Amino acid sequence: MNPVLIQALSDARRTLEEKGIESARLESELLLAHILGWERHQLYLNKDYVLTPGQIDAYKSLLERRAAGEPLQYITGVRYFMGLPFYVDSRVLIPRWETELLTEYTISRAREKGRVSILDLCTGSGAIAVSLAVNLPDAEITAADIEQGALEVAKKNAEENGVLSRISFYQGDLFAPLPPEKFKGYFDIIVSNPPYVPTGEIGRLMTEVRDYEPISALDGGEDGLDFYRRIARDGWRYLKAGGFIALEIGYGQSNKIQDIFLKSGYYHRHECHKDLAGIERFVVFYKKQGE
């Protein structure tokens, strides 16, 4: 006899708990809801529903993937960010909640400025760029990434959120695909969540990050700061007078990144923003007047 839904959930939760997954109950529910095409709350409105053999097999397959360490978001193909649905797969980093802080700040500052032009470097899934386009209907958004696969995901997310025509996508390494003759002094804001994990620390990351998320979106070089040096060196050329660069940072990196930018001579002041726990999450650097 095929199991009723509530029993299947109980068995699934136990399977994930045995693998050390902290949110086993939540994830077992989300995986089953994904199989059934339901919202999560519908599971408990239909707890006596009898699963079909096909549904049971599909559920077991997803549970095996999660138990092996594959991130839930890659299995279901969705991650919510800024209240918006984003498709994700192994070509892109899964958007983190802390990146919402950087995105919310950028939206707030853009609204103060009025009509703005914004560049999102290392766009990945397009989470920042798409969120900016949705929340800033008059803004001009440009997004760049070195990986073709990432841009395919970003464009898909832009289309599904109704802003594909609002974002210009470029493939290349940081500023390389942006013609200087067009983009010199062009942007009011440059925003980025670049790779910032030191190469030597990647092997110590959680299994679901280390073994499943793209290394190119994580590896920031020997000290994790390679991308910040390059953005500091070249970013000022692409900013308007009074423009700024806002960057997510890793734990404990704030002071070193501030030194990189301020010693470059192209930026005259900066801000460091913390989350509610007091952890430094992103930094902002303003272009010197006259540069």
User: Tens digits of per-residue pLDDT, 159-206?
Assistant: 999 999 999 999 999 999 999 889 999 999 999 999 999 999 999 999
Q: From the CA atom positions of the chain, what is the Rg in Å?
A: 21
In a shared domain, residues 54 and 154: no
Report the pLDDT value the prediction gives residue 18, as an integer from 0 to 100.
94
User: Tens digits of per-residue pLDDT, 216-275?
Assistant: 999 999 999 999 999 999 999 999 998 999 999 999 999 999 999 999 999 988 899 998
The residue written with tokens 């970003």 in the block is 154
Q: How far is CA 79 from CA 85, 95, 217, in A?
A: 6, 7, 17
What is the Cα 96 distance to its own chain's centre?
5
Report the pLDDT value the prediction gives residue 132, as an integer from 0 to 100.
99
Residue 200 sits in a domain whose CATH number is: 3.40.50.150
In a domain, 174, yes or no: yes
What percentage of residues in the chain have a pLDDT greater than 70?
A: 99
In a shared domain, residues 143 and 258: yes
Residue 46 sits in a domain whose CATH number is: 1.10.8.10
Q: How confident is the model at residue 288 (pLDDT cuts 50, 70, 90)?
A: confident
pTM: 0.93
Instruction: Give ∠ CA 89-122-239 in degrees, rounded to 5.
Output: 155
Report the pLDDT value the prediction gives residue 47, as an integer from 0 to 100.
87
**Domain assignment of residue 121, given as a range:** 90-287
In a shared domain, residues 122 and 191: yes
Structure tokens at 245: 């660069």
Average pLDDT, the chain: 95
Res 103 pLDDT > 60: yes
User: Tens digits of per-residue pLDDT, 65-80?
Assistant: 999 999 999 999 999 9
Res 290 pLDDT > 80: no
In a shared domain, residues 188 and 263: yes
Res 1 pLDDT > 60: no
Give the single-character DSSP code of 95: P
Helices (H), the chain: 5-18, 24-36, 42-45, 53-67, 72-76, 97-113, 127-135, 148-160, 180-183, 207-210, 226-234, 254-263
In a shared domain, residues 51 and 98: no
In a shared domain, residues 151 and 115: yes
- Work out how many domains the chain is built from and give that number: 2
**Range 42-51 average pLDDT:** 92
